[in-house]
Structure 1
Amino acid sequence: MVRPREFDEQQALSAAMQVFWEKGYEATSISDLTTRMGIQRPSLYAAFGGKKELFETVLHKYTQISLTYIENLLSRAPSAREAVRIYLQGIIEGGGGRQTNLGCLCINTMVELAPHDQSFAHLTKDYQLRITELLRQTIEDGIRKGELASGLNAVAIARALTVSAVGLAVTMKSAPEHAYVENAVTELLTLLV
């Protein structure tokens, strides 16, 4: 007979996410995880598998939350240009409850693990492609509504903005001067003119 879990799985995943986000995958120990998750080692293995499987689960959860947040942010803005500005500004200010010095968990994974692990390379590439798609849709919507010039290449601009957003998230981890990143965002918005 299988015993019911004696902990809230979603709370445990959120706690694990925070540990991985703060320390990175490699520097996080099983003890770090069990302490923060409030569970014993056997429960972690029974519920989530090993450290890698837990991290994959956490990363999937993070990307779903992040992409939903970005989609809602972009769709609620009064214009396409403002949507892009709000999105980039959110990276600077830690939108979605994110601490800027921690960066984006998915982008951190891209830097730390993707070069050495195909599954994480695929996961992080998919995340970037999905952000690009959201930005493309936003730009095309702006073109359709006449807010943006009809000659804009929505696909190319969305790709450039995604690459820039990744770089911006990494840059924010080093606490740059606000004027430095604010000026960069201002320049990026000229892509939409």
Structure 2
Amino acid sequence: MTKLDNPMLDNAQTMLNKKKRGRPKCFNEESALQKAMLLFWEHGYEATSINDLTQALEITAPSLYSSFGDKTALFYKSIDYYLAHEACPIEPIFTQARTAKIAFELYLYDNIKRLMQPNKPKGCMLVTAAMNGSDQSQDVQHNLLEKRLATKQKLCERLQQGVKDGDLSAHAPIATMTDFYCTVIQGLTVQARDGAKIDELNHVVEHAMKAWDLFDQ
């Protein structure tokens, strides 16, 4: 038997070829993560299948699992990528703004820009990615809820800072203001997904900021 006729060598070569096909040479993990994020952002966690992901990322299922873990792990990494690259940068805005009112106004208007980006899904991924989730996705829903609550806490802390700095009344209902502006922010996402125009959302923010004086008495 010649070297070329050796079945063991043939099997080894077949396995090597399969590994090569499983993960392209030009595989870019960050680019793949961005594509996964856009898919989850547009269709949500449950409606996005492994097949959808492998087609969008142009890799095989084994390669996806070896690179990112299972679907849930990939989703969490996609959320982290979204927060790092797409979400409104709340901390710099809140730190640099001179007053709490200016901080909230800048944050709301910046949110609109990010909710309405051309060629990208509308709305906030933290809100849209697990809407109408089933019992099977409770862990995912809870993970997103924790992140939304973290943002809510930052809103509350900036209001408290406003009281401390003296630009917000000591009698201002901080908890109620926090709930109100969180509701406005999440409502903007729903309106954006429903096809609202950017001018319409800007008007919502305009009136939401007029309500500030009703709280600050």
Same fold (TM over 0.5): yes
Q: TM-score, normalised by structure 2?
A: 0.72
CA drift of 1:125 comes to 1.6
One of 82, 86, 89 as aligned partner of 1:69? 89
CA contact (8 A) 2:41 2:121 kept: no
CA contact (8 A) 2:45 2:130 kept: no
How far, CA to CA, are the matches of 1:152 and 1:100 in structure 2? 38
Equivalent position amino acid for 2:70 in 1: G
Number of aligned positions between the proteins:
190
State whether structure 2 residue 31 is matched by structure 1 residue 11. Answer: yes
CA drift of 1:52 comes to 3.0
CA contact (8 A) 2:32 2:57 kept: yes
Matches within 5 A, 1:27-46: 27-46=47-66
State whether structure 2 residue 195 is matched by structure 1 residue 175. Answer: yes
> Over alpha carbons, which structure has the higher Rg?
2
Tell me which residue corresponds to 1:58: 78
CA drift of 1:152 comes to 0.9
CA drift of 1:58 comes to 1.7
CA contact (8 A) 1:114 1:121 kept: no
How far, CA to CA, are the matches of 2:118 and 2:172 in structure 1? 32
Q: How large is the RMSD of aligned CA atoms in angstroms? A: 2.9
Matches within 5 A, 1:8-157: 8-63=28-83, 69-94=89-114, 102-113=122-133, 117-157=137-177
Q: TM-score, normalised by structure 1?
A: 0.80
C-alpha distance 185-68 of structure 1, shift in aligned 2 (>3 A): closer
How far, CA to CA, are the matches of 1:188 and 1:155 in structure 2? 16
CA contact (8 A) 2:130 2:141 kept: yes
C-alpha distance 67-104 of structure 1, shift in aligned 2 (>3 A): closer
Structure 2, unaligned stretches of length 5 or more? 1-18
Q: Encode CA deviations 1:6-38: one digit per residue, 9 max, x unaligned.
A: 634333222211122123334434343223324
Deviation larger for 110-119 or 74-83: 110-119
CA drift of 1:48 comes to 2.1
CA contact (8 A) 2:38 2:120 kept: no
CA contact (8 A) 1:20 1:28 kept: yes
Equivalent position amino acid for 1:50 in 2: D
How far, CA to CA, are the matches of 1:115 and 1:98 in structure 2? 33
Runs of 4+ in 1 over 6 A off after TM superposition: 95-100
Structure 1, unaligned stretches of length 5 or more? none
Q: Encode CA deviations 1:147-186: one digit per residue, 9 max, x unaligned.
A: 1222112233112211221111111122324454333222
Paired residue secondary structure (2:143): helix
How far, CA to CA, are the matches of 2:192 and 2:155 in structure 1? 21
